[in-house]
Structure formats: C-alpha cells, structure tokens
Amino acid sequence: MWTVYREFSFLRLGEKNNTSGNNPTASSSNATKPTETVIFHAGNGDIEVPRNPQRIVDLTNFYTGYFLAIGVKPIGVSTGAMENPYFAGKLDGVVDVGNDPSPEKILELNPDLIITFTGSEGIDKLEQIAPVVAIDYGKKNYKDQMIDFGKLTGKEKEAEDWVVGWKAKIDDLKPKVQAAVGDKTVSILNPYSKGLYVFGHNYGRGGEIIYDEFGLKAPPEAQKEAIDSGTGWASISLEKLPEFAGDIIFTCPWSGDTSDPKIIYDSGIWKGLPAVKAGHVFQLNPHGDTYNDPVSLEAQLEFISSSLLSVQ
C-alpha cells in the first residue's frame, strides 16, 4: 500500500460543449455540470475529467469515505458504503446503486464522474456514460490517496487539512499508546469458514493505525506472512493460531461469511491464548472496521487507542 503507483499532473484542456446531444436521458442538470476539464492519471490510463465534478457515482465502497471527509457527497454509492455505520447521517439523499449496478441504473443518475476499481468488469460501458477513474486498491497509502482525491475534486486544501489534523492526533496518542503496550505484540485475527485471516498494516481493520501509525509489533509469524510479504493478509488454520496470536488481539468475524465464528471462539486453542486469558481481546465492527478511509479511520482511532490504553 505504500508504493505510489502514479503521480497527478493536471492540464487544462479548455471548455467543453456540454449539451444533451442524442442522449435521451440527459436532463437540464447538464447545464450545471462543470465544463472545464483536466487530465487525471488513473489506474486505467490518462482520463479527461471535470475539474470540479459535481455528480460523482462511487462504485468502490472503500473510497466513499474519502469524498465525505473532504465535503464531497457522491450522488450514488454501492450498498456496502451505505451499510458502513461510520457513514451514518453522511449519505442522506444519496442513491444506493446496489453491489452490482447495471449501466442503465447509473445512467439514470446522470453522473459527470464514475469511480471504480481497476479490473472491474464493464468499464467500457461505464465510459459511455461519464469519465471513469479506476483506482488500484492498496497501491497508495491512505494519506497519499486522500491528497489525490482532493486534487481530483478541487478540494486540495480540505484534503491537506485532514492529513495535518490526523498527524496531530497520532502524534498526541502514539507515545501514550506505546507506553501502555510496551513490548507486547498485537494481532488482528478474523475467523472465517476455513480458519482465520491474519491482517497486517494495509488491509483495514485498524492495521494502518496499529502497525504503521503507532508502530506496534506483530508476532514474528504475522509480521512475516501478512506484513513483510506485502499482501496485507494471510490465511491460517486453527492449529497455527498460537504462532500468530499476539499479547493483544483485535478480532471480528469475516464480514459476509456464513460460518459460525463460535467454532473458533469456543475452541480450546482460542480460549488458551494468553491474550484471551488476560482479557486483552477487542471486538472490531465487521461492517465498519474493514474500511480504511478517513471517516472510518477516525472512528477506529478512538476505539483502538482506548482499547490499547486499557491494557496497562
């Protein structure tokens, strides 16, 4: 996640004639769309986009919070973003386009910019509706991604202010947390149908805060498999759990998984972990803590820091 994959450079292309043309669904709202365009270097190439887009449809779930943090409310988002508890009250009036929206549904919203992931199916069809910016998930750390989205939306100052404010919060909390945790190791462990996921520093669930911002240590095996590997996660069997379990554990069932997490939590192996015996296990929110956008990170920071400070 810390590899910066491309840089922004903006180029004014001039004014565009923004008429309804042959588009039968175009409405009078076209008159309010921004007409000045710029070039954005995205995961799907050099994309000509509005300088200050007004009608963004975000199909990613995981980037919606970036826009909200800088005061940009999309007109449409995916169901996963609508279900994020940390976005409560922030998406009022926004259309839930579903998890796999049809181009026709998106067309109805008359967007001037569409955000999706690289490799998503149907990008060619979306490009017939509006400019599409595809993002390589995890290629940039969240602070760099925040700055980029600020540039994309004409909210550079708001994005920079968030990064500065976030750093100030970390600088205040980090020495307190490190003093409380000391040499204890910290794990992020999520049960799922075939065992457990071990998460690292760049896959949500508080990893960005625990490992990168606070500089806390993972158990050696977790460090090797989920962090040093660059993947951000690893899958292990229940039998291997003691090798990956830290002195402090953050956990939540895998979101969307139908298996019963009690299979793990009620096992003798889990109950025998030092962290469990010491009461140093903290439950994450499977609907919000999988995200690593600025809004979700703000909420996670409060929970994670208070949890870590309680282990003294």
208-258 pLDDT, tens digit per residue, is 999 999 999 999 999 999 999 988 899 999 999 999 999 999 998 765 655
- pTM comes to 0.84
Domain 28-58+104-159 has CATH 3.30.43.10: no
For the domain made up of 171-309, give the CATH fold: Rossmann fold (3.40.50)
pLDDT at 231: 87
d(CA 218, CA 126): 42
Cα atoms in the Cβ-side hemisphere of radius 13 Å centred on 43: 18
Tell me which amino acid residue 35 is: T
Tell me: pLDDT of 25 over 80. no
d(CA 217, CA 52): 42
For 235, the 3-state DSSP assignment is strand
Q: Locate CATH 3.40.50.1980 in the chain.
A: 28-58+104-159, 171-309
Neighbours of 17 (CB within 10 A): 6
User: What single-letter DSSP state applies at residue 208?
Assistant: I
For 76, the 3-state DSSP assignment is strand
> Residue 163: which of 141, 138, 185 has the closest Cα?
141
N-terminal to C-terminal alpha carbon distance within the chain: 31
Displacement of CA 42 from its chain's centroid (Å):
17
How large is the average pLDDT for residues 268-285?
A: 96
> Residue 287: which of 307, 244, 308, 257 has the closest Cα?
257
pLDDT at 254: 66
Residue labelled with tokens 């490190």: 178
pLDDT at 255: 58
